[in-house]
Amino acid sequence: MKPTSTPDESVFPVENSLVYKQLKETETYAAKNSMKINFSKTQLMLFNPCWSLNFTPHMSIANKDLEVVSEKKLLGLTVRSDLKWTSNTENIVKSASKRLWMLRRLKILGASKDALLQVYMKQTRSVLEYSVPAWQGSITDLEKTNLERVQKCAAHIILGTQYISYSQALQCLALESLEERRIKLCLKFALKAEKNPKYAGWFVPYVKPRNTRNVPTKYCKVKANHSRLEKGPIGYLTNLLNLHYSK
């Protein structure tokens, strides 16, 4: 349904909006069950890649207009209306970098290299790998570098004067690069998902047509008109599984 045009902006009519219907159902449910809606946590985010039909939704519930936001933290992930993970990566790097003070403090107090390594893996690296399957396929090379820089800094703290290079530090500490670990974590997640009846539908089995020379794969690639969808979680995990089974 096309938005109506006004002198100031385009406004989307909410009468036939599925989101608006869901909001009204939520309002009715809350009233029947003597519940109150927390309006400070009820917001709208618009996902609209089409610039020619750019509009701002005006929706209300219980006679209160809902705020439209372009960025929101949801279950620890920073989601943006443009579907980019730049803000999420920045928040992850910032949070993980703050935790490096523990390594510095323990280093001063005389903690062993093994103890420092355990603290890093449990307190810092876990933050850098939070919800990896959701964003691994869509982050940029610059974001990957920024994430890797945190582990590089941690290795420098742990090894001190013994630090020569990042590759040498990884070998000395028996660590993998974060990029390698993220790929393995995503593959592990995908292998579990395909065996779960609830999530197996994410991956569509490939049926090889007759009279074709195409190399068969286990699952069909996600059909996408834009690379953003192709690099999304389902597309990325599907490609990982196909690569895994082709070996």
pLDDT tens figures, 126-155: 999 999 999 999 999 999 999 999 999 999
* Residues 116, 38 within the same domain: no
Is position 226 within any domain? yes
pLDDT at 53 over 60: yes
* Residues 178, 189 within the same domain: no
From 22, 43, 69, give the residue that closes a domain: 69
Beta-carbon contacts of 75 under 8 Å, excluding residues fewer than 6 positions away, are 131
* Residues 121, 171 within the same domain: yes
What SS3 class is residue 45? strand
**Six-digit token string for 46:** 């618009």
Q: Which domain holds residue 122?
A: 83-183
Q: Kindly report the pTM of this predicted structure.
A: 0.82
**Six-digit token string for 29:** 């449910």
**Six-digit token string for 5:** 């045009």
% of the chain exceeding 90 in pLDDT = 55
Beta-carbon contacts of 124 under 8 Å, excluding residues fewer than 6 positions away, are 96, 99, 100, 102, 103, 150, 154
**Which ranges of the chain does DSSP label H, i.e. alpha helix?**
18-32, 86-98, 100-108, 113-119, 126-128, 132-135, 141-159, 166-173, 178-195, 227-230, 233-246
Is position 74 within any domain? no
For 98-128, write each residue's pLDDT tens digit: 999 999 999 999 999 999 999 999 999 999 9
Residue 233: other Cβ atoms inside 10 A = 20
* Residues 123, 171 within the same domain: yes
* Residues 189, 231 within the same domain: yes
Is position 75 within any domain? no
Between β-strands 71-74 and 43-45, what pairing exists: parallel, antiparallel or unpaired? Answer: unpaired
From 69, 92, 124, give the residue that closes a domain: 69
Is position 78 within any domain? no
Is position 77 within any domain? no
Is position 76 within any domain? no
| Cα dihedral across residues 16, 82, 240, 91: positive or negative | negative
Sheet holding 4-5, edge to edge: 4-5, 10-12, 56-57
Distance of CA 45 to the CA centre of its chain: 16
Task: Determine the pLDDT at residue 224.
Answer: 77
Is position 148 within any domain? yes
For 162-201, write each residue's pLDDT tens digit: 999 999 999 999 999 999 999 999 999 999 999 999 999 9
* Residues 26, 100 within the same domain: no
Q: What is the mean pLDDT of residues 41-56?
A: 73
Task: Determine the pLDDT at residue 9.
Answer: 53
- Amino acid at residue number 201: G
Which residues are 131's β-sheet partners?
none
Q: Determine the Cα–Cα distance for residues 151 and 92; give it in Å rounded to an integer.
A: 12
Is position 95 within any domain? yes
- Give me the number of domains the chain comprises: 3
* Residues 62, 9 within the same domain: yes
> pLDDT-based confidence at 82, cuts 50/70/90?
confident
* Residues 192, 214 within the same domain: yes
* Residues 27, 99 within the same domain: no
Q: Determine the Cα–Cα distance for residues 133 and 61; give it in Å rounded to an integer.
A: 34
| Cα dihedral across residues 46, 68, 56, 20: positive or negative | positive
Q: Determine the Cα–Cα distance for residues 187 and 213; give it in Å rounded to an integer.
A: 28
CA dihedral 48, 50, 51, 52 (to 10 degrees): -130
* Residues 90, 148 within the same domain: yes
* Residues 193, 178 within the same domain: no
From 18, 36, 69, give the residue that closes a domain: 69
Per-residue b or e along 7-30, where b marks 16 or more CB atoms closer than 10 Å to that residue's CB: eeeeebebeeeeebeebeeeeeee
φ, ψ at 245 (rounded to 5°): -80, -15
* Residues 124, 156 within the same domain: yes
